[in-house]
Amino acid sequence: MTESVLSHTTVLLNEAVHELLQSSAGVDGTYVDATFGRGGHTRLILSRLSPKGRVQAFDKDLEAIAEAGRIQDNRFSIRHEGFSNLGELPLGSVDGVLMDLGISSPQIDSPERGFSFRFDGPLDMRMDTTRGQSVADWLATAEVDHITEVIRDYGEERFAFQIAKALVARRQERGPISSTTDLAQLVADTVKTREPGQNPATRTFQAFRIFINAELAELEQALEASLSVMAPGARLVVISFHSLEDRIVKQFMAKHAKEVVDRRVPFAEPVKMRLKLCGRIRPNESEVRGNPRSRSAIMRMAERTEVAA
């Protein structure tokens, strides 16, 4: 499938919704689409729910909120907030939580959002353009050590120090960098070797986007919150697109899928497992051919166990 600037192909759409609705509540349940995006998952969930079912969505992106306004269904509501606010929902009130951690194609393909090195635009990268600091604003004052840390830790870039040094040198010589093409060119001039088929700026752009939106911290908060808002038998379905996210999801699910014994108190009851692992799914060859952006996706599923008395 060819994507236009205004289109978005939802990765693992049918698989994600199928797994979500395996909850004990089934089609009568209340579900959370924690990352609404362009609404692909929400629309399919609604199409499969009974009149009793409900969908509560979250998103920080104003364009996503506008898209949500096109859904005329009294079973649906959305909050203009990040999914780290999931814990504000009542305890045990939802039967499934779906988190699609990918950035949507319209976001990537909108030059004014500054997410992509393929288009010339302002170096912004904020998911919520109504608040917070843009990448350009941050780079105008950030020190070499901090820039290095961000590129290294969030982009897994081995030339992090060289890129950070070049950014600060450029700022001192000609003023701060403020456009996507300028950043991409600076990185290309600095990074002399790169994996075949990958733009030299890929890792740096990823790192700055994750940092400026606090994506990993928000993911950790949302995962912890999911445990309190999910009812027994609820499903947790998370789609990740790079190793940093997937590592957090995998470790979180593994941690809560086993009993914990406090060895300092040998006669105390063990802390009961709170999740049961339900496997993982990768896109099939047909989906990857039709949507190359799905290549790195991995979906992990878990089920909320009975809450201990």
The average pLDDT across 81-95 equals 96
- 113 falls within a domain: no
Please check whether residues 17 and 101 belong to one and the same domain: yes
Percent helix, strand, coil in the chain, to 5, is 40, 15, 40
Please check whether residues 223 and 143 belong to one and the same domain: no
- Where does the pLDDT of residue 264 fall: very low under 50, low under 70, confident under 90, or very high at 90 and above? low
40 to each of 10, 57, 143, 257, 259, how far by Cα in Å?
6, 12, 40, 29, 36
The average pLDDT across 135-163 equals 97
Of 146, 177, 212, the one marking the end of a domain is 212
Of 158, 178, 212, the one marking the end of a domain is 212
- 115 falls within a domain: no
pLDDT at 237: 98
pLDDT at 217: 96
Please check whether residues 223 and 170 belong to one and the same domain: no
Amino acid at 59: D
Between 130 and 142, the more confident residue is 142
Please check whether residues 136 and 261 belong to one and the same domain: no
In the three-class reduction of DSSP (H, G, I as helix; E, B as strand; rest coil), residue 238 is classed as strand
Q: CB count, 10 Å around CB of 77?
A: 12
Average pLDDT, the chain: 90
Between 82 and 106, the more confident residue is 82
Domain count within the chain? 2
Please check whether residues 198 and 138 belong to one and the same domain: yes
174 to each of 119, 168, 169, 182, 206, how far by Cα in Å?
22, 10, 9, 12, 25
Please check whether residues 22 and 100 belong to one and the same domain: yes
Please check whether residues 51 and 190 belong to one and the same domain: no
Please check whether residues 221 and 277 belong to one and the same domain: yes
The average pLDDT across 130-148 equals 96
Please check whether residues 101 and 40 belong to one and the same domain: yes
Q: Are 270 and 259 in contact (CB under 8 A)?
A: yes
CATH number of the domain bearing residue 223: 3.40.50.150
Of 212, 244, 275, the one marking the end of a domain is 212
**Among 11, 83, 72, which Cα is nearest to 40's?**
11
- 309 falls within a domain: no
CATH number of the domain bearing residue 177: 1.10.150.170
Q: What is the CA radius of gyration of the chain?
A: 21
Q: Which domain holds residue 281?
A: 13-105+215-304
Contacts of 264 (CB under 8 A, 6+ apart): none
Q: Are 61 and 82 in contact (CB under 8 A)?
A: no
Angle between helix 243-255 and helix 215-229 axes, rounded to 10 deg: 30
Q: Which of 108-112, 118-122, 139-143, 247-251 has the lowest mean pLDDT?
A: 108-112
On the question of pLDDT at 308 being above 60, the answer is no
Q: Are 135 and 212 in contact (CB under 8 A)?
A: yes
